[in-house]
Structure 1
Amino acid sequence: MTQTLSINGQRLIDRLDRFAQIGATAKGGVNRQALTGLDRQARQLLTELALQRGFKVFQDPIANLFIRREGRNPDLSPLLIGSHLDSQPAGGRFDGALGTLAAFEVLETLEDCGVETERPVEVVSFTNEEGCRFAPGCMGSMAFAAGSIPSAWETMRATDGALFADELSATLESLPVAAMRPLGTPVFAYLEVHIEQGPSLEKEGLPIGIVTGIQGTRWLEVIIDGQTAHAGTTALQYRHDPMQATVNALSELYRDIMPADPAARFTIGRMALEPGAVNAIPATVRFTIDFRHPSLTTIGVMEQTIRMAIQQAAADTGCSATISQIFDMPPASFPDELLAVLDQAAQERDFATKRMLSGAFHDALFMNRVAPSAMIFVPCRDGLSHNEAEYVEQEHSIAGGNMLLASLLQLLAPTAAL
């Protein structure tokens, strides 16, 4: 049965289409940001589908949603599978939703075929993976792994001004049928299907990627202060121009960091000038830097290089620079024993695969702190994600679901080494 059991592919495709209507955009994407009314609609629909199948539904204080199919021994910790249902403001139909709905399809397939598992299997939809309405991202899995919700989150405001505590409360209250459970209940292992969000699988013609880990990410906020003055009357040699310092520093960093190591990532995501007048030299330039690498040591070297370049450029232009670290996520490696299970599942299904590192962080990053975790990637067209044009071929969505099913059956087999 392990070799022949397959998901209902058409049901998964239909389900993806149905959920894509919740928050559908004119350009074919999805705007279903975390803890909004649309996010609640998606949660309610998934809950209704679960109850129709006789599954149990739970939520925890951060509004992570759990759907449970019992095993022969309900006292055993569950195998957790899933992802998230929230999206970017101009997001795609598959980011997060594929992983959550493929997991639910696996649960339905087990039920359809009468497969008994020794331990329970649970589908999870984590709260606010994207982090676009409330920052940081991965709030649900972060709180789950920590076993608590940071007090600072309660007073946090969304990009639209809404209070986090209010939106969280409204979301919890929208699912009165879901029993409450504490944060961080024990988990046997965690598996997540996700679109690659990059082009390599498509370019190599591979249906499945086995993710070995997630590269580290660090964010800096930079403030360069100079002196505002008239743009027409202040000669270049008399200026204390923070924009000139910014350009000089970033030119050096793009030249030195980007080509030096193909595994390095360096991005300026936000920039603001004050006072922001067309005819005035700015007094202040603020910008953020996102830099990433698989090696924690290299991330440290990158930060030192960045800080030195910015401070030198500021000094050269008579300005001052303040650099603050605002986010730090160390690299994570998924356990070899779990990766071996995925390798074996792929061989049984005759899926061509490659092992690969994730450039983006996911809920599996935090779950790996409390339980063995791994991810399965599927290709997305042109590598596009966080984009309304995001698309996954039907055959690849179905392959991801079948790979998850095969991995689950391998992992729950009596001979599994995990």
Structure 2
Amino acid sequence: MSIGIDRERFVETMKEQAAIGGTEDGGLHRLALSDEDREIRDWFRDQLEELGLDVRIDEFGNMFGRREGTDPDAAPVLIGSHLDSQPYGGIYDGALGVIAPLELLRTLEEEGIETEHPIEIVNWTNEEGSRFQPAMQGSGVWVGAHDIETEYERTDENGDLLVDELERIGYRGDVPAEPQEEYEAYLELHIEQGPYLELEGKEVGVVTGVVGFYWGAITYYGEADHSGPTPMHFRNDALVGAADVITQVRRIPSTLGDRTVGTVGYVDAQPNSINIIPEEVTFTFGFRDPSDDIVEEAKHRVLAEAEAAAEREGLEWEWEKRHQSDSVRFADTCVDAVQASADELGYDSMRIFSGAGHDAVHLTDVCDTSMVFAVSEDGKSHSEAEYTSWDDCYSSANTIANAAFRLANGE
């Protein structure tokens, strides 16, 4: 048995949520624990209560709504994503994965359809990590990957404590931020944030896993001097060493794998003056790939390049690890449920690895997990230019709704 969510209501609900924190250019500015976040949380809680769901808020602000199943001993199927956004991001990132299960629960209620397992919908706190770091924070606390007291003490750029902001907006709940029981499965819908579905002409992505990644930082120490009288062979230019390595971060991935990517996202040069040779430069580097071995090889290569550049330019240097996450393979039971649903609904799908981290990564420590991807036009995300057609939104939403329905009935 398949179900079909109400397309018109689903689209209208997506537009309704997008108006909360919406920008003049059609994007979304709804940072975690901001006033806009409080407004969307209030709105979301109203939607859950209108359905008669059991709503609970945990100590870290994660929001859950529960629809009971026919078997009181059956473990719940959890489905959801996040409602916070990047600064001036898009209206689909995260929100699509919350509105789709909301529409699933509305459909089940309207049609009087029961499920064997309970179904829970969740809005995770601070998935984006744009105001408070790290990303995927709420789900990380919930599964025990992060210590809640440590995360409470995180501050934003204004020095505001996370725990204070959580209390200010009224969403520091009294339920422990941890699983209260065993879970059958977790499903998450998200836009792809990459170009592969569009390039292959597919409607739905059946996500089989998430890439591993490594983030590090390198600092070069040279010598400041006048940019005019100092001969080139007298110079110890920290920026030249950094530039040599930065170009290698761009080139290394093409020698390793089809899905390997490398990025330098931050550079700080001191004293940062047009008339002074840079004496200290720090930059970050990151690599991602489905293979942890390839990520490790990329890291070793860039550090070898860093050592060689330091020797050429007469620089001292050091590096530090910022973060590392192993790749994740999702459970066959959940992947197969997504695939079967896409096939039954007649959607042209493909299996795909996620190039970005999601809350689903943390949930693999708790239960079987998988994801559904919607097409991202031009692969754009984390900007107001982010776009997914309503047809593609609906196809992916209908797919995850049916996958959750299958799992909630033991299929």
Q: How does 1:207-246 map to 2 (within 5 A)?
A: 207-246=203-242
Cα RMSD of the aligned pairs, angstroms, is: 1.6
Structure 1 residues 240 and 148 mapped into 2: Cα distance closer, same or farther (>3 Å)?
Answer: closer
The answer as to whether partners of 1:133 and 1:160 remain within 8 angstroms in 2 is no
2:319 to 318, 323, 327: 323
- Structure 1 stretch 325-334 or stretch 273-282: which is displaced more? 273-282
Structure 1 residues 203 and 257, CA, compared in 2 at 3 Å: closer, same or farther?
A: closer
Counterpart in the other structure of 1:118: 116
SS in 2 for 1:281: coil
State the shift of 1:140 in Å.
0.9
SS of structure 1 residue aligned to 2:266: strand
1:211 alignment partner, SS class: strand
Q: How does 1:263-412 map to 2 (within 5 A)?
A: 263-412=259-408
Shift in Å at residue 387 of structure 1? 1.2
The residue correspondences of 1:4-43 to structure 2 (distance < 5 A) are 5-43=3-41
TM superposition shift of 1:206: 1.4
Letter in 2 for 1:27: D
- Within-5 A mapping of 1:122-271: 122-146=120-144, 149-171=147-169, 173-174=170-171, 180-185=175-180, 186-271=182-267
Greater Cα offset, 77-86 or 67-76: 67-76
The structural deviation recorded for 1:252 is 3.6
Residue aligned with 1:376, SS? strand
1:161 positional shift: 2.9
Question: What amino acid does structure 2 have at the position aligned with 1:22?
Answer: I
Question: Is 1:71–2:66 an aligned residue pair?
Answer: no
Aligned residue-pair number: 410
> Counterpart of 1:105 in structure 2: which amino acid?
E
User: Scaled by the length of structure 1, what TM-score is found?
Assistant: 0.94
What's 2:90 paired with?
Answer: 92
Contact 1:64 1:126 in 2 (8 A): yes
Quickly say closer, same or farther: Cα 1:65–1:92, change in 2 above 3 A: same
| Overall identity of the aligned pairs, in % | 34
Contact 1:216 1:293 in 2 (8 A): yes
After superposition, the C-alpha distances for 1:338-358 in whole angstroms (9 at most, x for unaligned) are 212222112211111100000
For residues 10 and 281 of structure 1, the distance between their equivalents in structure 2, rounded to whole angstroms, comes to: 61
In 1, distance between residues paired with 2:50 and 2:90? 28
Cα offsets for 1:116-151 (capped at 9, x unmatched): 112210100111111111111000111111175344
What secondary structure is seen at the aligned counterpart in 2 of 1:108?
helix
Task: Tell me the alpha carbon deviations over residues 238-263 of structure 1, each in whole angstroms, 9 at most, x when there is no partner.
Answer: 11111011112223443343344322
- Counterpart residue identity of residue 28, structure 1: G
CA distance in 2, matches of 1:381, 1:275: 41
Q: 1:55 to 1:181 in 2, by over 3 A?
A: farther
1:58, 1:181 within 8 Å by CA — same for their partners in 2?
Answer: no
